[in-house]
A and B are shown apart, each in its own frame.
Chain A
Amino acid sequence: MGSSTEEKVVAVILVGGPTKGTRFRPLSLNIPKPLFPIAGQPMVHHPISACKRIPNLAQVYLVGFYEEREFALYVSAISNELKVPVRYLREDKPHGSAGGLYHFRNLIMEDNPSHIFLLNCDVCCSFPLPEMLEAHRKYGGIGTLLVIKVSPESASQFGELVADPVTNELLHYTEKPETFVSDRINCGVYVFTPEIFTAIRDVSSQRNDTATLRRVSSYEALQPATRIPADFVRLDQDILSPLAGKKQLYTYETMDFWEQIKSPGMSLRCSELYLSQFRLTSPHMLASGDGTKSAIVIGDVYIHPSAKVHPTAKIGPNVSISANARVGPGVRLISCIILDDVEIMENAVVTNAIIGWKSSIGRWSRVQAFFTLLITQAEGVYNSKLGVTILGDSVAVEDEVVVTSSIVLPNKTLNVSVQDEIIL
């Protein structure tokens, strides 16, 4: 049975809400985490443009509990740019990763899609969505998960799973286990058939029944009520775990990169991954220069067209420069994200840092960070602290000041050097 041209696909991207982004502070104090620029584009842009490669994509929904106005501008701009309808749906309250999908099922099913993709916005990977869809069709189940192999030490941070090596069926799934189960983990990217809604509904109604049952016994009525609301359904524990081993769920393994963008430091690492991906998929996005007419560019660098970079500067590798930033003569930028309207003055050096909107970096100053271990969650060589220096918005670093491995909250002026500090 081949795919009919009538078969439509809908993609749902979970973007979370303000209470979920606390590890992304201080950057998330100014902007919802999903809109934070990674490799020059808002974080959510990367899964959305990956969706564009899905054949017969009808609609993309962003589901979260941020205020609608935070996404209104972005959503209309990206719909125009990618020529794909993108819409933000606000949950009135958290419903869990599966509950959110279920909550908007009527809207999602409006186009009568044959398949529904579910993606997490803060996943950084190559999103092999067309390949996943094809595999899913062959398996014939109700859902297929994207999975990746990681180091055994780091696997316990994620959902570990066991898959049949021949049929790729999902046999077992457990979330953040204390003991080692498997080195294959759940990437947070799924494709489902509409039967998934039935499965979610079944979980909800089971909960309701249990709740009703509880009210019957007076003894149990005395117990503290810690029941989860019926409509809060978690994909991992409530759907994947119980359905594993029942020939309903399958896995598709990716051999490419995969990271979660949980902290600002990871955003720098993921920026690097996406920039290197641009070199393969859309090299015109990357900057180049040899110091004659434009600045020397080393490695993968993104420079927004409205940014101004002096020809005597040297930029890269792994640098993103956002709109209206100004980079002065003799500046050196290595592994950093420069946000909108930042001004960097002569001979300054920025390395391993994120410079917040409208900040200014003085002449001969140095904003830097060191980490003794490279942090890559998936590769398992990790340290709980990522030493990236972060300047919030409108921070002023005066001439010749050195800022090392520190976090500076918005609107501060630094006139003395600091190291390993959090400046409130």
Chain B
Amino acid sequence: MKALILVGGFGTRLRPLTLSLPKPLVDFANKPMILHQIEALKAVGVDEVVLTVNYQAEVMLNFLKDVEAKLEIKITCSRETEPMGTAGPLALARDKLVDGSGEPFFVLNSDVISEYPFKEMIEFHKAHGGEASIMVTKVDEPSKYGVVVMEETTGKVEKFVEKPKFYVGNKINAGIYLLNPSVVDKIELRPTSIKKETFPKIAAAQGLYAMVLPGFWMDIGQPRDYITGLRLYLDSLRKKCPAKLTTGPDIVGNVLVDETAKIGEGCLIGPDVAIGPGCVVESGVRLSRCTVMRGARIKKHACISSSIIGWHSTVGQWARIENMTILGEDVHVRDEIYSNGGVVLPHKEIKSNILMPGIVM
């Protein structure tokens, strides 16, 4: 089986992290975001993944060579020379996706984190026999998104309504699709939107079916959702594979600590914390609802909550980092500094307090 992962854009909403790495390679729960998806695809028998990229393709390819070797899965890039919308990349990748076997292929939005129930989706797709399957997820505020209006029992999609003013349904497009190769023939090679053009056509032909995504779903393309997504992910990990979580007297709630990380005495870590490879957390540190990326050092007595600490950064003694502070790569926060929602670009030293949320260039 094959899969297409729509990587596309510049990842501007996840800056400053995406100033150092392309978004799919930004770590989430101690693993590059895209690796979560590739591993899940491999597990259902996908043997080739095509990534559509138009930005920093070389960086992606280098990383992916390692993955190819480790997971024994073929990974290629399909380069967009100009942004092609969401459907255009499919047409572009046509020769890679359509191999004559007639098997359906997955299309994933690279920002989406979920339990990736691909096996169930394949079964669903075979059962309804339609041309395309789409995962939908239930949300509290559907009018912020594009709502998928569907028949409850069969899942047959009737139509899409973008940001509806009145309630039409509470299921939105989760960004996970399983498509028959025949879909590709219906797409022209120009900027095309899957939602606005391709799918309505298929829906009209009664060929599109929606499955409600079991488990959690998060679009982690921006910091606030990234932090919420980590909580959902760790929650799911506790149910499926609790051995992977860290336990101990200094740990509270769901905490993921890489085996190469070091944690000092008298700390209190958690809930919803991920500490990456090579990190050093000195004694007396309090971490909650935060991510500490590879190689970062948190010095004694510091307190960090609801924030992201970028690769190889340091947080000084007695510093207080909170309220969606995002430190880019190689940021050094001096002792005793207070940051309330600071967004700090890479390679900076923070010598004075950040009292209100704002960007430090």
Contacts and interface: CB of A to CB of B under 8 A. Distances in A.
A334 interface: yes
A330 B317 CA distance: 10
A404 B284 contact: no
Interface in A378-424: 400, 402, 404, 419
Interface in B243-281: 266, 268
Contacts of B353: 370
A402 B266 contact: no
B303 interface: yes
Given A330-B266, A332-B318, A347 B303 contact: yes
B336 interface: yes
Among A370, A400, A404, the one with the most B-chain Cβ atoms within 10 Å of its Cβ is A400
Given A346-B266, A402-B320, A370 B355 contact: yes
Contacts of B266: 329-330, 346
A90 interface: no
Interface centre among A329, A332, A346, A349 (most CB of B within 10 A): A349
Contacts of B355: 370, 404, 419
Given A402-B320, A404-B355, A366 B286 contact: no
B111 interface: no
Nearest to A405: B355
B301 A400 contact: no
A251 interface: no
B192 interface: no
B23 interface: no
A192 B2 CA distance: 100
A329 B300 CA distance: 11
A364 B286 contact: yes
A403 to B, nearest CB: 11
Range of interface residues on B (Cβ < 8 Å): 10 to 19
A370 B340 CA distance: 13
A366 B301 contact: no
Nearest to A331: B301
Contacts of B291: none
Contact of B338 (A347, A363, A364, A366): A366
A368 interface: yes
A373 B113 CA distance: 47
B284 A351 contact: no
A371 to B, nearest CB: 11
Contacts of B318: 314, 332, 347, 349
Contacts, number: 48
Contact of B336 (A332, A347, A370, A419): A332
Contacts of A370: 353, 355
Contacts of B322: 402
A368 B338 contact: yes
Nearest to A351: B336
Contacts of A349: 301, 318, 320, 336
The residue in B268, B303, B305 that gathers the most chain A C-beta atoms within 10 A of its C-beta is B303
Contacts of B300: 330
A327 B165 CA distance: 57
A368 to B, nearest CB: 6
A22 B339 CA distance: 34
Among B286, B300, B301, B317, max chain A CB count under 10 A is at: B301
A363 B285 CA distance: 11
A404 B355 CA distance: 9
Contacts of B305: 400
A251 B336 CA distance: 46
A400 B303 contact: yes
Given A332-B318, A346-B266, A364 B336 contact: no
Interface string A334-376: 1000000000001101010000000000011010101000000
Interface in B197-247: none
B290 to A, nearest CB: 13
A347 B338 CA distance: 14
A330 to B, nearest CB: 4
Contacts of B301: 330, 332, 347, 349, 364
Nearest to B304: A364
Interface string B347-361: 000000101000000
Contacts of B268: 363-364
Interface string A309-343: 00000100000000000000110101000000000
A366 B284 contact: no
B197 to A, nearest CB: 48
B341 to A, nearest CB: 12
Interface in B320-351: 320, 322, 336, 338, 340
Given A332-B336, A370-B355, A347 B284 contact: yes
A155 B18 CA distance: 54
A368 B317 CA distance: 16
A334 B336 contact: yes
Interface string B57-69: 0000000000000
Contacts of A366: 303, 320, 338
29 contacts: A329-B266, A329-B284, A330-B284, A330-B300, A332-B301, A332-B317, A332-B336, A346-B266, A347-B284, A347-B286, A347-B303, A349-B301, A349-B320, A351-B336, A363-B286, A364-B268, A364-B301, A366-B303, A366-B338, A368-B338, A370-B355, A400-B286, A400-B288, A400-B303, A400-B305, A402-B320, A402-B322, A402-B338, A419-B340
Interface of A: 314, 329-330, 332, 334, 346-347, 349, 351, 363-364, 366, 368, 370, 400, 402, 404, 419
Given A329-B284, A363-B268, A366-B338, 16 more contacts: A314-B318, A330-B283, A334-B336, A346-B284, A347-B286, A347-B301, A349-B301, A349-B320, A349-B336, A364-B286, A364-B301, A364-B303, A366-B303, A402-B320, A419-B340, A419-B355
